[in-house]
Structure 1
Amino acid sequence: MQSLFKLITKPSTRSFILQFSAALLIGFMLRFVVNLTPVWWLVWIAPVPLLVIALRSNKRDTFWITAVAASIGLSSNLHYYQLVMPAPIAVLVLLAQSWLWVLVIMTTRRLVLRYQSWWTVLVYPVVWCAVDTLLAHCLPDGNWGSLAYSQTEFLPMLQVTSLFGVAGLLFLLALFPSAIALAFVYGRRLHHVPWAYGLTTLLLIATFTYGEFRLQDPSGKQQVVFGLVSIDDAIGLQASATYAASIWQQYDRHVATLAAQGAKIIVLPEKIAMLTPANAEQLKRYLSSVAKAHHVWIIAGSAIDDGSRPSNLAWMFSPLGILTNNYQKHHLAPPERDYATGVDYQTKVIDATLYGLAICKDMHFASLGRAYTERNVGVMLVPAWDFYFDQWIASRTTLIRGVESGYIVVRSAREGLLTVSDAYGRVLAEKPSSGMPGQTLLVKTNIAARLTTLYSIIGGLFGWLCVLCLVGMAAWPVASAYLRAYKALPNSNLGDASI
């Protein structure tokens, strides 16, 4: 007992207990930051203690504290990962995401301690933006789960995505805790320290002011009535004819009700039924008759299994019952890895407004969202199928595409949310989906001409500039060492002032 007391009272043991307690506390906060329904305001302050510890601790302690805290926080999503992928892969994804946090914090620590100047306040945001940009372009799931998507409730700050995309919002989101952490650790001891805190304050105030100003823009004068329908029940290849008919008849009743209420464009969810090619032709004829009978545009998601590679499709029928568009999903969810991949972009002019088609995960990629901007689309129609637990983050990721590119998004999801959002990220209407008899949403909104945003012109330029800045900051010490060595050579003229 006495030896245990001595062990506990040793300075090294007390230090470990304090550090481990801090890791647990930070990890607990991160659970509300990196989960599928993050607390937006907590995202601004949760990284502060982690950064303070990193700048005050040695490399080994920073590494394990960050690893423990990140693992605890990210474990909040483990159950969701196990729903969409095999358990071993889910664990590997969790470990990889924890490693990213370690990489970001360790890189930030190294660069800040090396330079200890006012501009190091930019290191943490630059590192996060660089990592996020590379993830968005290199991984099949892109930068899904980016911290920036947590800010869709903070509308003034959200408007910065119309300028610099997700990278611009993430930069500001990381800049604030970086400045607070430097203030805690260094106070006034940084070289030219007023620049660090002044720049942070100026950027945040300017962004907030721009956001408030942008939100005052008037809406358009052309009014359109959208109808959204979703029934969570799915129709598989082995479904009985009676079961399938009951679901389609319920969709028909919902369409009739919405059309009677004034809906002109009605969006149904993704992959309502898995079909053989023969059944697909039969369903097309049926949906064509429904659209013609109620004189509405209908967008419906389905999947066709021809025995080789299934296809995930969105069909668009005109009020005359004509199949005008047959869109194939570009970006496939983990359970769809054996599906064929679409490459075409589908648009349709309705009453002088250009509409675009996408399916669920497609809208998680800024590149696809911007591709429709280049085609001058004013409204995106998006059938979707979520996994219930990710319904908030899936709908808000899609919402940001509309802010980046300046268009309305109409998204109807199974096991998710029926959502209509405008070009400023405002949720105009929203309802959760349900099983039979399903859920409907009627939305009347004004449509303006598509907003031209800076992001629609420059794309991901800001994110790639952050990648270049990170490479430059990391490489500069090595380059400086070589430069000094070269100057020291007897035959070197590099330091000669006459040159």
Structure 2
Amino acid sequence: MKYFNQKWLLLFVGGLFLGFTGMNWNIPIFAWISLIPFLRYVRLGYSIRTLLMALIIIQTASTMRIISEPFHIWIAIFSGVQAGIVFTILLWIWNQVRIKFSKQISPTLGFAFLFTIVEWIGAYCSKLGVWGMLANSQINNLILIQSASLFGATGISFLIYLVNGSLEQSLSEFITHSKISKPSQYALISCFLLLVGLSFYGSVRLTLPIEGNSIKVGTVTSKMEIQTIWEDSIQNQKNTDLIFARTKQAADEGAKVVVWNEGAILIQRKEEDSFLKKIATLAKEKEIEIVAAYIVPLKEHEFFLENQLHWIGKDGSTRQVYFKQFIPPGEPISHNPSEIRVIATEWGKMSAAICYDFDSLQLTKTHSELGTGVTFIPASDWKGINPFHTEMAALRGIENGTSIVRSARGAISGVYDAYGRVKGTLDYYEENDGVLVVSVPTVAVKTLYSKLGNWVVGLGYLYLGFGSLFVFVLKNKN
């Protein structure tokens, strides 16, 4: 047991677990134990400054897993510093509360709620969106992530934090006293029952059919990078012709709605009207809806773009013009405010977003509130986040009860139903024709999360609020 008291071993093991939690090379089981070494470290009173430096290095190294063009190392460093500081502060706060007010605020519950609330704030307010959510580590556990329909990804993260806190509390008690207290035993049993109950719920849910209409949808992608079509007009024209040819192919294969990848075509402003007329003509000719995502250069000699989609109906009319709203740090595109809309079609209610938009809980909440049954997402990723980013979008679909159709350059294009089940995928890095056509349900599935939102976070605010009130009363008495 003496090994559990050695600070460098705790930091090393914690770094190993945390370094392979989430994103690519994710080992899902590590999430359930990744924070135990750090909780043990601060419990033993080791240096907070050393912890800060270690967490910055760990988080930076972890983010390096998704480094490939166009994602540069400075973004990994920025993310690592930010995450390291936040984690260190939260661990320090937890330890102070544990030492001074453990009778008023349960160390285990306090830890789980504190981290979940901060994670939720980041998903709503920060430019990193949902990328910092611990629930992402469980994306491939289809049975467990069905519980996102009950309390969202924040609820899954809360459960992971609760398990980490309960295991660390029990471990520390056993090391110190050679036994585990009754409250800690109850906490472990509760975690076990929660996991069993949610797994049972997920298993049953996946046996239920999604009733209502289904239609064939198509995703169209090109292997030409944005930088290439921006620099070379000949390649740009080839790319444009290719996208139109593949759109016709998808229509011939039965697709009723065809979705291009983000920035599929680069078009000059003076040519935009004739370009849109060409899309409208194709939509009428093939009797399909086209979610045409393209970019327009805004500066003559500078790589700065307007990133948008035009949803053209099968009658050739423009159903929606939408600009990307949630812009990643450093992306060279303009910000044009756009209204999120749900389009009523003959097959059901549908909506559209562009790539990173679906990493913001604020924006995805709006899609859900408007009652969409399918969300079309033109996207553009890179090798370092393939297929993780597409799978993250499927988790948003489970939360809100909507099917997801994501057409991605530089990653897997995927079509998922409202249970997150894969209806079809197309890998950008494999030899294929760049066209995916599959059937997907168009009716929204009602979820508790779509009605109540992140209610676990609300419980956390109440719990910590009342706990703080008790602490305040106690301090006044003293």
Following TM superposition, by how much is the alpha carbon of 1:43 offset from its aligned partner in structure 2, in angstroms? 1.2
Following TM superposition, by how much is the alpha carbon of 1:101 offset from its aligned partner in structure 2, in angstroms? 2.0
8 Å Cα contact 1:34-1:73 kept in structure 2: no
Q: Which residue of 2 aligns with 1:232?
A: 223
The structure that has the greater radius of gyration is: 1
Q: Which residue of 2 aligns with 1:201?
A: 192
Helix, strand or coil at the partner of 2:370: coil
CA distance in 2, matches of 1:89, 1:250: 33
Helix, strand or coil at the partner of 1:344: coil
8 Å Cα contact 2:281-2:316 kept in structure 1: yes
Helix, strand or coil at the partner of 2:129: coil
Q: Which residue of 1 aligns with 2:7?
A: 19
Structure 2 CA distance for partners of 1:15 and 1:183, relative to 1, 3 Å: closer
RMSD across aligned positions (CA) = 2.9
CA distance in 1, matches of 2:230, 2:243: 20
Helix, strand or coil at the partner of 2:130: coil
Q: Which residue of 1 aligns with 2:87?
A: 101
CA distance in 1, matches of 2:284, 2:11: 61
Query: Could you report, residue by residue, the CA deviation over 1:284-311 in whole angstroms, capped at 9, with x for unpaired residues?
Result: 1222233233322211211234459843
Q: Which residue of 2 aligns with 1:11?
A: none
Following TM superposition, by how much is the alpha carbon of 1:399 offset from its aligned partner in structure 2, in angstroms? 1.1
CA distance in 2, matches of 1:412, 1:311: 19
Helix, strand or coil at the partner of 1:155: coil
Q: Which residue of 2 aligns with 1:9?
A: none
CA distance in 2, matches of 1:16, 1:366: 38
CA distance in 1, matches of 2:284, 2:383: 33
Asked whether 1:143 is paired with 2:125, we answer no
Of 167, 170, 177, the match for 1:183: 170
Q: Which residue of 1 aligns with 2:149?
A: 162
Query: Could you report, residue by residue, the CA deviation over 1:363-383 in whole angstroms, capped at 9, with x for unpaired residues?
Result: 111221121122111000110
Q: Which amino acid aligns with 1:269?
A: N
Helix, strand or coil at the partner of 2:243: helix
Shifted more, 430-439 versus 124-133: the winner is 430-439
Q: Number of residues paired by the alignment?
A: 468
Q: Which amino acid aligns with 1:153?
A: N
Structure 1 unaligned runs (5+)? 1-13, 486-499
8 Å Cα contact 2:113-2:158 kept in structure 1: yes
Following TM superposition, by how much is the alpha carbon of 1:260 offset from its aligned partner in structure 2, in angstroms? 2.0
Structure 2 CA distance for partners of 1:242 and 1:207, relative to 1, 3 Å: same
Structure 2 CA distance for partners of 1:224 and 1:317, relative to 1, 3 Å: same
Helix, strand or coil at the partner of 2:143: helix
Helix, strand or coil at the partner of 1:27: helix
Q: Which residue of 2 aligns with 1:277?
A: 269
Q: Which residue of 2 aligns with 1:453?
A: 447
Following TM superposition, by how much is the alpha carbon of 1:481 offset from its aligned partner in structure 2, in angstroms? 0.9
Shifted more, 228-237 versus 84-93: the winner is 84-93
Q: Which residue of 1 aligns with 2:459?
A: 465
Q: Which residue of 2 aligns with 1:353?
A: 348
Structure 2 CA distance for partners of 1:379 and 1:204, relative to 1, 3 Å: same
Query: Could you report, residue by residue, the CA deviation over 1:64-123 in whole angstroms, capped at 9, with x for unpaired residues?
Result: 246415622541313746856775564233111112222232233333333456943212
Aligned ranges for residues 13-412 of structure 1 at < 5 Å?
18-55=6-43, 57-60=44-47, 64-65=50-51, 67-69=53-55, 71-78=57-64, 80=66, 88=74, 90-116=76-102, 119-187=106-174, 188=179, 190=181, 192-234=183-225, 238-307=230-299, 310-336=305-331, 339-412=334-407
Q: Which amino acid aligns with 1:394?
A: H
Following TM superposition, by how much is the alpha carbon of 1:406 offset from its aligned partner in structure 2, in angstroms? 0.4
Structure 2 CA distance for partners of 1:16 and 1:44, relative to 1, 3 Å: closer
Q: Which amino acid aligns with 1:359?
A: I
8 Å Cα contact 1:250-1:437 kept in structure 2: no
8 Å Cα contact 1:28-1:73 kept in structure 2: no
Structure 2 unaligned runs (5+)? none
8 Å Cα contact 1:274-1:303 kept in structure 2: yes
CA distance in 2, matches of 1:195, 1:15: 26
CA distance in 2, matches of 1:53, 1:215: 40
8 Å Cα contact 1:32-1:73 kept in structure 2: no
8 Å Cα contact 1:126-1:466 kept in structure 2: yes
CA distance in 1, matches of 2:190, 2:102: 16
Query: Could you report, residue by residue, the CA deviation over 1:444-471 in whole angstroms, capped at 9, with x for unpaired residues?
Result: 2344x31111111122332243245345
Structure 2 CA distance for partners of 1:409 and 1:146, relative to 1, 3 Å: same
Structure 2 CA distance for partners of 1:70 and 1:469, relative to 1, 3 Å: farther
8 Å Cα contact 1:230-1:434 kept in structure 2: no
Following TM superposition, by how much is the alpha carbon of 1:133 offset from its aligned partner in structure 2, in angstroms? 1.5
Following TM superposition, by how much is the alpha carbon of 1:478 offset from its aligned partner in structure 2, in angstroms? 4.1
Q: Which residue of 2 aligns with 1:429?
A: 424
